[in-house]
Every structure is written in C-alpha cells, then in structure tokens.
Homo-oligomer: A and B are copies of this chain.
Amino acid sequence: MSNAGDHETSRLDDAARAGWLYYVAGNTQDEIARKLGVSRQSAQRLVSLAVSEKLVKVRLDHPIARCMELAHGLTEKFGLVSCEVAPSDPDAPAALTGVAQLAAGEIERLLKSDHPKIIALGTGRALRASVEQLPKMDCPQHRIVSLLGNMMSDGAATPYNVVIRMADRVNARHYPMPLPVFARSIEEKQLLQQQEAVHNILELARQADVTYVGIGNIGDNAPLLIDGFVSREEMRALLKAGGVGEITSWVFDRGGRLIDGLTNDRVASAVLHIAPAKPVIAIAVGIPKAEAILAAMRGRLINGLVTDEATAEHLLNH
C-alpha cells in the first residue's frame, strides 16, 4: 500500500514539476521532457495531469475577471445562450454606461455580419442607452423591427422607442410599429392587429434572429407607471395578481408566467418567442429589477442577459 501511495505521490510531484516548468518557467514540453528524462508525450501527460489535479491555479488580476465568472455562473444556472456582465462602477452604481457599452459591443458584432439578420427590439432605458453607444455603420442587409408600439394612447411618440434611433445610426431597413402600447380594449387591440402592416411586423418580429428587450419591475417605481402607461390602480391590481416584472409591457409573475387578464388583455406588443437558437436577450440593470429578471429567466421568457456586476451578484445569490 505504501508503495502505491509513494508511486502516486512521486507522479504528482513530477506533474507539479512539469507544471511549474511549463506555466511558470515557460518551457516547452520538449524541454520539460528532456529535463525530466521522459518522452515528450509523457511530459504532456504530466502537464495535463497537473491541470486536471488542480495543481495549477490561474488567477486573473482584472476587474473583468469577476464579471466573467458571474456571467459564466448565470449562464450555467439559468441555461442562457448568452450572458455578459459589465463591471459596476462603485462610484456610480446606477450608471448604465458600462452595460450600455457592453451591449453595444455585442450588437455591433451582430451587425457586422454579412448575413442578413432580423433584429427585434423592445424598449427601456438600458436598451436605449445601448443603442446610443452604437457607432455609425452601414448595414443595409439587416432589418430592425419593433416589438411594440411607439405611441402613447394619445398618439404622442413614446420616449424610449429605439428602433428609429438605431436604424438611423446603422442605416438599416426598419419597421416601427404604428400602434399604441396599450389598446383601450381587447376589441380595439384585435382590430389594430388585424391591419396588414401590423400583422406583417408581428410576423417579422416572430422570425427575429435576435431580440433585445428591457425588463421593467412592477410596483411604485415601475417604468410602466412612471412613464404613464398604466394607472396607479392598474399597477396595484397587477401587484395583487402576482406580477413582478414586464417585458414589452407583458406582465409576468414570479415563475415568469404571463398574468391573465388586466393590462395584459390590452397589450398590443408582440409576445416573446423563444427558440433555443434564437437569442432573446434582456438588457437590465439594478437590484430593484432583480426579481423581475429572475422570473423572466425562470419562465424562459429570455435566454440571454446583459447586466452589471452588482445585479449579477444579486441574481446568483437569490
């Protein structure tokens, strides 16, 4: 027994030596093989043994490292297809710029593709900030489609609609939705959606290759309330019905299931459509939104996320 132990030990010792020579001293496996008096293949085995036995530990001395870990953790935990986490600035924890830059980078990569893509956009402050970060580009091959109306009920343009702004910047065909966010009744909603143009846009949105949306929380400081889309009474009713968040104004509960009735009856925006290969990516920041983000991931309303470090941390620790 002691023999076997000794043998194992000396093998690990050699693995450690090989690992040191490789990672610390920067030797090639050939040199290690020569120094340790074994074949090159054995040296390779020793190095990979050192790795698999966790003898070598790699640490990344950069704020980004923590973000990458969080992103990886979220991806694993919620089965996302894409996740990015921007460093939080401790001096300005609520700032969107980090997240916006990150999201803009992701969108920019997407736009650089030569293959024509359909990009569907929701709404929200974070999404809008991201679009602001986009550089001027020329992408006539892509199409950008809105998931929801760009009008208040009174006909005024909504402040956070981003399709036009983005299309402006990147010179792509675009399809804003000529609807109010909420119809006044179920009947009006059906009527509106029967317009051919609207129908086409909804169909286009359904086919979107990538979808970016914001996430809103439900409550006193809900964007829907602040921006005047729903009344205080409606908000109270939504809360009472279990609503914790909304995406393109569709309100859902803790499990990410859409609430029956209430404002959802009158939402004119497209329903989110998840197919594993088609990313539906939320851009959302802030502890108050954590509950809503969690619910959206649980219910697989989204399969991608761009957020910041503080929010990501909170999401991983419930």
Residues of A at the B interface (CB closer than 8 Å) are: 12-13, 16-17, 19-21, 23-25, 37, 50, 54-65, 68-69, 72, 105, 108-109, 112
Nearest B residue (CB) for A101: B10
Q: In this complex, which of A16, A50, A60, A112 has the most chain B Cβ atoms within 10 angstroms of its Cβ?
A: A60
Q: In this complex, which of A12, A68, A108 has the most chain B Cβ atoms within 10 angstroms of its Cβ?
A: A68
- A59 in contact with B56 (CB, 8 Å): yes
- A62 in contact with B12 (CB, 8 Å): yes
Q: A16-B63, A23-B60 are in contact. List 17 more A-B contacts (CB 8 A).
A: A12-B62, A16-B60, A16-B64, A16-B65, A17-B68, A19-B60, A20-B60, A20-B64, A23-B58, A24-B68, A24-B69, A25-B68, A37-B112, A54-B61, A56-B59, A56-B60, A57-B61
CA distance A105 to B55 in the complex (A): 22
Nearest B residue (CB) for A24: B58
- B56 in contact with A20 (CB, 8 Å): no
List the B side residues contacting A64 at CB < 8 Å: 13, 16-17, 20
A-B complex: 9 closest residue pairs judged by Cβ atoms:
A37-B109, A16-B62, A16-B64, A20-B68, A23-B58, A57-B59, A55-B62, A20-B60, A55-B61
List the B side residues contacting A105 at CB < 8 Å: 37
CB proximity of A101 to chain B, nearest CB, Å: 8
List the B side residues contacting A72 at CB < 8 Å: 25
Task: Please classify the interface of chain A as helix (H, G, I), strand (E, B), loop, or mixed, using the class held by over half of its residues.
Answer: helix
CA distance A58 to B72 in the complex (A): 21
CA distance A41 to B59 in the complex (A): 23
CA distance A34 to B68 in the complex (A): 16
List the B side residues contacting A60 at CB < 8 Å: 16, 19-20, 23-24, 50, 55-57
- B37 in contact with A68 (CB, 8 Å): no
CA distance A57 to B16 in the complex (A): 16
- B59 in contact with A21 (CB, 8 Å): no
CA distance A65 to B56 in the complex (A): 10
- B57 in contact with A58 (CB, 8 Å): yes
List the B side residues contacting A13 at CB < 8 Å: 62, 64
Nearest B residue (CB) for A82: B35
List the B side residues contacting A19 at CB < 8 Å: 60, 62
CA distance A25 to B50 in the complex (A): 16
CB proximity of A212 to chain B, nearest CB, Å: 16
List the B side residues contacting A61 at CB < 8 Å: 54-57
Q: In this complex, which of A54, A109, A112 has the most chain B Cβ atoms within 10 angstroms of its Cβ?
A: A109
List the B side residues contacting A21 at CB < 8 Å: 68
CA distance A17 to B68 in the complex (A): 7
CA distance A109 to B23 in the complex (A): 23
Contact for A20 among B12, B16, B17, B65, CB less than 8 A: B65
CA distance A25 to B57 in the complex (A): 12
